[in-house]
Structure 1
Amino acid sequence: MTNELSVAVVPVSMLNQRVADLLAGQLPPMWVSGEVSNLTRAASGHWYFVLKDEHAQVRCVMFRHKAQYVAWPVSNGDKVELYASAGLYAARGEFQLGVDSMRQAGRGALFAAYEALKQRLQAAGLFDPDSKRALPAHPAAIGVITSPQAAALRDVLTALRRRAPHIPVILYPAPVQGDGAAPLLRRAIEQANDRAEVSVLILCRGGGSIEDLWAFNDEALAHAIAASRIPLVSGVGHETDFTIADFVADVRAATPTAAAELVSPDGLAMRQHLGQLQRRLQRAVARQLEPRMQQLDYLARRLLHPGQRIAQQQAVLQQWQQRWQRAGSQLLQQRQHRLQQLRWRWQACRPDLPRLAHRLSQLQSRLGPSLQRQLQNHAHRLNTLAARLQALDPTAVLARGYSLVTTANGQVVRQPGQVRTGDALLIQLAEGQLQARVSPPAPQQQTLPLELPKTDGA
């Protein structure tokens, strides 16, 4: 008891630091072989991974200034040899290897088996996209194949409760890790198909190493997934984890939560869409009802009591009767007026013989004196015109002693300048013609003689 009280009490950080110093001093750097798993490349450039074999595993860290000299793209499943120092990460008390260099030692056995099975199943057509079944848009029930203790189950149930709380969820329990997990997973799929109580299945578990997920790389499980009549969604591991079940499943989800979201309709979106449809339906019904209500009001206004309808018909009948009477009376008056006009016209066209005989007698008595006066007037006018014509007769002028002098071409000579000495002239007298020639001009006589020389016949 006294010895225990005398031992100094140290904090955890000091204990971890002492262990780290002890490991560093007792274990020199060495070459360690194993298979890379859970490789993570941090944004800082440092590598974090697990080195394992069939019986054990150890955490490793390779800092950026050393990882940059690795000459090939390291991936999970690579068989490697590390030159590393054993140590303790004091902040978390975790044993780890600090890697100084890495060299390739061949692909790991598990990864090689995984690749061989993948190629064999792909050649058999289990990965064919044409064989994939479509997921139901509104499943009646959702089945989940996983371990009841798995954190993935809580993620799936949380997502389903949030998105579609109205859809029943049925759990088909099966272990998701270990040697006997694959047959039980296969049995769970067969049981779900036999019971046929769900519309879609979710096969899920959380992330892990390739050993942790190895049950989902089982060939018999792959055939069971392909033979399932119920569409199956694989949600195994994280986004970077791929298993044979992912390739065979109808749909592969990156995480269990994503698988739940794929198989369930979004309740909020459905409610919003339903609200939109409800509002559209209300508007459509209103558009249909409004004209019907207006038509109903119009018909209601037109709807009358039978007594009112009879009274209206009687009023219309009375109006027609009055119009018929007025039309008949007007037609009769028109016919009577037309008859009177015809009578007047007939009377106007009937001859008045005594009056016409008296008129004829008067016209006969007036006709003789009128004709005599007309004849006398025309005779007087004729004499007047004859006297005027006689006065204008050129032969009468010639008879008084005048003559008409013309040139040889018949032009009347009115002045001496029209002819020249020696020109032939034709002189027309009252009784005959004379021909003469122009002699030199005599003195011009300004006036005519008052008396013409008498001829023998005067």
Structure 2
Amino acid sequence: MNVNDFYGIDTPSPLGQEKPVVSVSQLNRYVTRVLSEQIDVLWIKGEISNFIQSAAGHWYFTLKDDHAQVRAVMFRGKTVSVDFRPQNGMEVEVFAQVTLYEPRGDYQLQVWQLRQSGLGNLHETFLRLKDKLEKEGLFDARRKKPLPSFIRTVGIITSLGAAALQDVLTAIRRRAPYMRIIIYPSLVQGKEAPQSLINALSQVKERQEIDVLLMVRGGGSIEDLWAFNDEQLAREIAQFPLPVVSGVGHETDFTITDFVVDVRAPTPTAAAELVSVTTEAWQNTISHYLQRLYRAFTHQEQTYIMRLDRASHRLISPQQRLQQWFEKTQFLHQRLEKNIHQQLKDNALLLNQEVRALQQNRPDITVLRHQVESLEKRLYRSLPQQIIPKQEKIKQYTHQLIRLMPRLWQYKQSQLEAKKASLYAYNPRAILQRGYSITYDEQMKVVRQAKQLQKGQTLQIELGQGRVNVCVLDADN
């Protein structure tokens, strides 16, 4: 920064001339600009003291170490991204801009991000793994398995010395003493814990003796719960054939395991209550279904009784049914016999009428034969006289056709040549032979106006003989 900016002038003072006097506001404004331009945003580590949250939701505190301290402010728009409540004495790391509070002349830190000291890398690792597995679909609700409607045997993966185990056992025995519990011991903290949890899962899968599996652990810091953020463990849970319920830490604690399991409970005790239905609840459920079953049976019984009553009214004895069929058969037999006699009588009458008509109209065979012979003779006599004139006309038409065929052919040929010449005259390619050309753009569309062209555009011009590619040097619109 030029020192002239400090005095608020554009040119330096003449040699020997006294510098102008500046106000305190000008000084603080200058220092603010120096801090913002010379010091980048950076991470700073220290201990929180004098923490205050304003009514507007802003955080004010002092960040200090053993030898120095600095004021800091974090506005409400940034505090919503912090997943814990800052406390006095807490070691934190802040991502901040060094600024000056001009009204008092105090320099301070304007905090953009805040995280617990030492947990920044773990939290970033957690977020990266969470984002990776979520994109692969391991958190998809469609792949999660529902809990069985009736759980007889529950498995628990946890440490034998964990207080969470006693809480789970107490809750299950109190609520559902009928349930069978199988414990699969495992480490739940430390570097060896992830592999120990995976081994316990393999044991559960191999033995196939439970209906649902609980993975539980008490609360702790992020380092204490880090075993449940292991990627390989998350993939093993995603492929596990049985429903898995997690109860890790407190309600505010979240691990990768919580997102992968089929059901997440806020605490170990809540996980136990989730899978254990009380005896009273089962008795109420059974009583409810017994009442529904009784009502269904009663309704079905009444329906069948009504159907039986209606059917009984329509039911007759076999003897009555046989008597009805016999009477109906007798009636049909009589009708059939009567119809047959009437049909025979009608046919006989019709036959007699036809015979009489045939006898009355029977022709004389001898007369008919003479008539036919007379007609044949007349036909043979008149046939040659009719054929000969027709043959002569056919010969005349044939000679005329032979004489006229060449002239007709020449006439048609001349008509064809005239049409060809006319067609060639209208052919745009023939026009090109007279010195004209056709211009195409890059899409082989015909260019009709100069305003369609741009400088540097490549065109193709078709001539009478061949084509050439050209570049537009200037387009006169």
Q: Specify if TM > 0.5.
A: no
Higher-RCO chain (CA-CA 8 Å, sequence separation at least 6): 1
Give 1 or 2 for the bigger CA radius of gyration: 1
Q: Please tell me the TM-score bracket, short chain as reference.
A: 0.3 to 0.5
TM-score (norm 2): 0.41
